[in-house]
Amino acid sequence: MNAESPPTRQVGLVELFTGFLLIGMLGFGGIAASAQYVIVERNRWLDQREFVELFGVCSILPGGNFLNATVMLGDRYQGPLGSVVGLCALLLAPLLILIAIAKGYQAYAHLPDVEAAVAGSAAAAAGLIIGTSARMIRGLERSWASLFFGMLTFIAIGLLRVPLPWVVGLIVPASIAAALYRARRRAAHAKAKEGSAGE
């Protein structure tokens, strides 16, 4: 799916706006679920396969996954204006709610209970991130390269507090190069097997 192939139906600016607005409003705890609901089930902008593909491409680009997907999807239907409308609609409700929460926090932060609740929430949020990434380990390719680059990143960023550009500039290309190499080797092995099997 890309912005050049003709979409299967027309989606106007208003529909884009309301769709992304809804995704933003329903996105408590994360927008993956509300995005899936609005894009695939409710508005049928993409089918499941296209949706997964879109996320796949967006996952390798800098920036928030879904923010990138919004830009691409908006462009597909209404060009650059569609991208802008999509982004603004997506962020509108969350930003307003965020400001309300922040102002409320500011107003009541001095109360000991509120302080304790936020401190507990922060501790939990940290654990949340740790737990989620631990789950993601299961989905990783089982290779020494994965282990090496993952640990290297964790040590560099988490323990040594190296600036991010170093990691992105050095570790990412190395890891991708290693992955490409592994892929080529696997392809070569598969070909060799085919060859010998035919004899």
Partner 1 sequence: MSILVQLGLTFLGVAFFSIGGASALIPEFYRQVVAVRGWMSDADFAHMVALAQVAPGPNMLIVSLIGWRVAGIPGLLVSTAAIVGPPSLIAFGVGRALDRLKGANWLAAAKAGLAPVVVGLMMASGLVTAQAANISALPWLITAGSALFMYLARRNPLWVIAGGAVLGVAASRLGWM
15/182 with CB nearer partner 1: 182
119/192 with CB nearer partner 1: 119
What is d(CA 19, CA 93) in angstroms, rounded to the nearest whole number?
12
CB of 45 to partner 1, least distance (A): 14
Sign of CA dihedral 175, 179, 185, 189: positive
CB of 34 to partner 1, least distance (A): 8
49/105 with CB nearer partner 1: 105
Residue type, 61: L
Distance from the Cα of residue 177 to its chain's centroid: 22
Closest CA to 156 of 169, 141, 139: 169
CB of 25 to partner 1, least distance (A): 7
Sign of CA dihedral 147, 144, 152, 180: negative
Encoded tokens for 114: 């509120």
194/199 with CB nearer partner 1: 194
CB of 96 to partner 1, least distance (A): 10
118/196 with CB nearer partner 1: 118
SS3 content of the chain, % helix, strand, coil (to 5): 80, 0, 20
Encoded tokens for 94: 């969350």
CB of 199 to partner 1, least distance (A): 28
In degrees, to the nearest 5, what angle opens at C-alpha 17 toward C-alphas 14 and 19?
Answer: 105
